[in-house]
Amino acid sequence: MNTKYIFITGGVASSLGKGIIASSLAKLLQARGLRVTIQKFDPYINIDPGTLNPYEHGECYVTEDGAETDLDLGHYERFLGVYTSQANNVTTGRIYNTVITKEREGAYLGKTVQIVPHITDEIKRRMLLLGQTGEYDVILTEIGGTIGDMESQPFVEAVRQLQWELPEEDCMSIHLTLIPYLSAAKELKTKPTQHSVQMLQQGGVKPDVIVCRTEHPLSAELKRKIALFCNVRPGHVIQSIDAWSIYQVPLNMHEEHLDELAVRKLQIDNFATPELSRWKTFLDRIKNPKYEVEVVLVGKYVELQDAYKSIQEAFVHAGAANDCKVHVRTLQSESVTPENVDELLKGADGILVAPGFGERGLEGKVHAIKYARENGIPFLGICLGMQMCVVEFARNVLGYADASSTEKDPDTTHPVICMMEEQKKTTIKGGTMRLGAYSCVLKEGSLAASLYGGLSIRERHRHRYEFNSVYLDEFEKNGMMATGRNPETGLVEIVELPSHPFFIGSQFHPEYKSTPENPHPLFKGLVAAALEYKKVMG
C-alpha cells in the first residue's frame, strides 16, 4: 500500500481544536492497526516557536530529538503514544530559510526564486518527507492558521498540487469549521462554513469531509444543507460537539464514522474495529474518580490556559492512575510574598513550581518553595522550578542570603545555578539551549529511583542554566541530595530532600513524556503523595 496523506485545514475561527481532531482520527486509525503519524505546518516566520513567548503561542513542546515545536505535537504524542521529531513541525520560516540558503548556494542559478514554484515545492517536499521513510501507512498533516489568512496560502497551494499529483486514493482533505449558535435566534448558522469552504475551493482544494465544531447537535437536515452548499457527499458532514474531555473526542469521531470515511476514501482494506480498550479504561477513570486533591501550579504565565498544557495534561494522566481528580489551581508567582504565602497556599495538597525564563515572578517561586519545604507539602519543581528550589535551599538552609541563579543576578557571590561554559559562547538565541532527551542515572534508594522503578532514564531538557556542582558537597551534607546525574557530564538533573515526605526538583521536563496510557512516574508520585498528605491532614 502507498503511504496515504490526510490534510486538515481549519476555517471560520482559530482555536477550534484542529490538533485534537487530527489526533483523534490518527488514534482511531492507529487503533485499527495502521502505522500513523501527524505533522504540523505553521504559517509564521519564526523558524520554530522556541523564540515565542508562551503568551503568544502557548507552551513550546520539546521532542525527543530536541526540536522546539508547537504544542499540538504534545497532543499528537499523548494520543498516539509515539514520538514525533523535528520533521513533524515545519514553519514558513523554516521553509524560507531552506530556500534562501539554497539560493545563496547557487542552487537556482539564473532563475527568479518565487513563492510558486520554489516555496511551494519546498513545502511539498517536506509534506512528503515522513512518508518516504517507509515507517508510516498514514500521514496526517495539520495546516496551522485559518483558511483565508494570507500566510497560509502557499500551504493550501501545496496541498492543491499534491492532491493533483498523488493518486486520488492516496489523498484526503478534511476541513474543520465552526457552526455558531445564535442564542437570540435559537439557530445554528451555516453561512460562515459555506464561505470558508468557498474560499478553500477557490484555492483549488476540495474537502472530502467537513467536520463541524458545534455546541448543539446538528440535525440531518442541517448536515444535508452544509453538504449541498459546500459540495461534499451527503454523509461526509460530521459534527464534533463540545466534549467533556479532549480524550473523549476519538470515541465521538468514531461514532460519527470519521475513521470509516477515511479508510474508504483512501481505499485502505481495513475493516477492523478500533481497539480502544485501554483508552476507554483511562476515560472511565477520569470520569468517575474516587478521590480528589488540589495541586497549586505556581507560574508566571498562568493567565493563559495553554502555557502549561503538558503539565495540565500530565495531571489528568496521573490523576487517572491514582483514581483521583486533580484540581489544578494556578497561582501567579509574581503575586506571592513572604506575607501572603500562607494564605495563598492554604489548602494545597501538593505544589508544582513551573518552568520559565527571565526574572519576573522568580522570588514568588522561592517563597512558595520555602512554604512547601517547611510544611512538608508534596512538591515537584520543574526546570526553573528545580533551579529555584536549589536557590531557596542555599539561602534559607545554607545561609547564603544572596544565593541566586546567574540568570537573575549575574553578580551574586553564590551562583548556585549558573551557565555552562559552552552556553556562554553562544550569542544566537534560537535553538541553542540544552534541548531534547538526555540520559540520567538515578541514585539507588532515592525517591526518584523508587518512582521510576529503575536506575536509568531518559528525559527531555530545555534550558541554559545548570546546578553549579562546586556547591554539591555542601548541599548534600546539609540534606539536599543530587539523586539524578547525567552519566556523561555529571550534571545534576534531580535534587531531593530525603527528610521531606515528597520533595523533588527535576532539571528536565517530565511533563513532555506523560501520556494517558503511560502516566509519568514523577506526576503519578506527586498525586499519590498529595492524596496521602490530604489523608493525614484530615
Of 170 and 407, CB closest to ligand GLN: 407
Count of CB atoms situated within 10 Å of the CB of 305: 11
User: At its nearest, how many Å lie between ligand GLN and the CB of residue 417?
Assistant: 7
349 binds ligand GLN (CB under 6 A): no
Report the distance separating Cα 120 and Cα 105, nearest Å.
19
Does residue 462 belong to the site contacting ligand GLN (CB under 6 A)?
yes
Residue 359 is among the residues annotated as catalytic for this protein: no
Distance of CA 479 to the CA centre of its chain: 34
| Residue 513 touching ligand GLN (CB under 6 A) | no
H or E element in which residue 140 lies: strand 138-143
CA distance 496 to 403: 19
Taking CB under 6 A as the binding criterion, the range among 121-129, 170-178, 272-280, 352-360 that sits at the site for ligand GLN is 352-360
Nearer to ligand GLN, 94 or 462 (CB): 462
The window from 103-111, 322-330, 393-401, 462-470 that contacts ligand GLN (CB under 6 A) reads 462-470
- Residues 6+ away with beta carbon under 8 Å from 284: none
428: Cβ–Cβ under 8 A, 6 or more apart, which residues?
none
If one asks whether residue 407 binds ligand GLN (CB under 6 A), the answer comes out as yes
Q: What span, in angstroms and rounded, lies between the C-alpha atoms of 226 and 209? A: 11
Query: How does strand 181-182 pair with strand 171-178?
Result: unpaired
Count Cβ atoms below 10 Å from residue 386 Cβ, excluding itself: 26
Q: Specify whether the backbone of 315 is left (phi greater than 0), alpha (psi in -120 to 50) or beta.
A: alpha
Residue closer to ligand GLN, measured from CB, 236 or 509: 509
**Residues 10-39, interacting with ligand GLN (CB under 6 A):** none
Is residue 357 a contact residue for ligand GLN (CB under 6 A)? yes
Question: How many residues bind to ligand GLN according to rule CB under 6 A?
Answer: 10
Nearest approach, Cβ of residue 368 and ligand GLN (Å)? 15
Answer for which of 54, 203, 274, 355 binds ligand GLN (CB under 6 A) is: 355
Work out how close the CB of 381 gets to ligand GLN at its nearest, in angstroms, rounded to a whole number: 10
- Rounded CA separation 180/479 (Å): 58
Q: Which of 383, 388, 418, 442 binds ligand GLN (CB under 6 A)?
A: 383
Nearest to 212 by CA among 188, 185, 179: 179
Binding to ligand GLN in span 179-238, by CB under 6 A: none
Tell me the closest approach of the beta carbon of residue 433 to ligand GLN, in angstroms.
6
| One residue of 465, 502, 503, 508 binding ligand GLN per CB under 6 A | 465
The mark string for 154-173 relative to ligand GLN (x by CB under 6 A, - otherwise) is --------------------
Q: Please identify, using beta-carbon distances, which residue of 189 and 464 lies nearer to ligand GLN.
A: 464
Interface residue with ligand GLN among 384, 391, 435, 480 (CB under 6 A) is 384
Comparing CB distances to ligand GLN, the nearer of 214 and 514 is 514
- Rounded CA-CA distance 225/258 in Å is 19
The dihedral formed by the CA atoms of 146, 151, 156 and 161, expressed in degrees to the nearest 10: 180
From the candidates 171, 383, 418, 440, give the one annotated as an active-site residue: 383
CA angle 314, 437, 63 (to 5 degrees): 60
**Which is nearer to ligand GLN, 17 or 355 (by Cβ)?**
355
Question: Catalytic: which of 254, 500, 509, 520?
Answer: 509
Indicate if 383 belongs to the active site.
Answer: yes
- Of the pair 39, 412, the CB lying nearest ligand GLN is at 412
> Which is closer to ligand GLN, CB of 213 or CB of 434?
434
Q: Which is nearer to ligand GLN, 83 or 357 (CB)?
A: 357
The strand pair at 237-241 and 291-299 is best described as: unpaired
Whose cell is 475493516? That residue is: 271
Task: Tell which phi-psi region holds residue 495, choosing left (phi > 0), alpha (psi between -120 and 50) or beta.
Answer: beta
x/- binding map, residues 284-323, to ligand GLN, per CB under 6 A?
----------------------------------------
Q: Which of 17, 356, 378, 525 binds ligand GLN (CB under 6 A)?
A: 356
CB 504 to ligand GLN: min, Å:
15
Q: Would you call 440 a catalytic residue per the annotation?
A: no
C-alpha cell at 19: 490538533
User: Among 27, 40, 160, 463, which residue interacts with ligand GLN (rule: CB under 6 A)?
Assistant: 463
Is residue 53 left, alpha or beta, with left meaning phi > 0 and alpha meaning psi from -120 to 50?
Answer: beta
The answer to whether 436 contacts ligand GLN (rule: CB under 6 A) is: no
Peptide bond into 117 cis (omega under 30): yes
Distances (CA, A) of 267 to 2, 26, 169, 315, 509: 10, 16, 6, 39, 41
- Of 48-56, 133-141, 251-259, 458-466, the segment contacting ligand GLN by CB under 6 A is 458-466
Are the beta carbons of 319 and 284 closer than 8 angstroms? no
Q: Which residue has the cell 460519527?
A: 256
Q: Per the residue annotation, which of 122, 407, 496, 511 is the catalytic one?
A: 511
Residue 509 CB, nearest approach to ligand GLN (Å): 7
Burial state string for 417-433 with b = 16 or more CB within 10 A and e = fewer than 16: bbbeeeeeeeeeeeeeb
Give least dist CB 47 to ligand GLN, A: 19
Q: Does 464 bind ligand GLN (CB under 6 A)?
A: yes
Which parts of this chain interact with ligand GLN (CB under 6 A)? 355-357, 383-384, 407, 462-465
- Could you give the residue numbers annotated as active site? 383, 509, 511
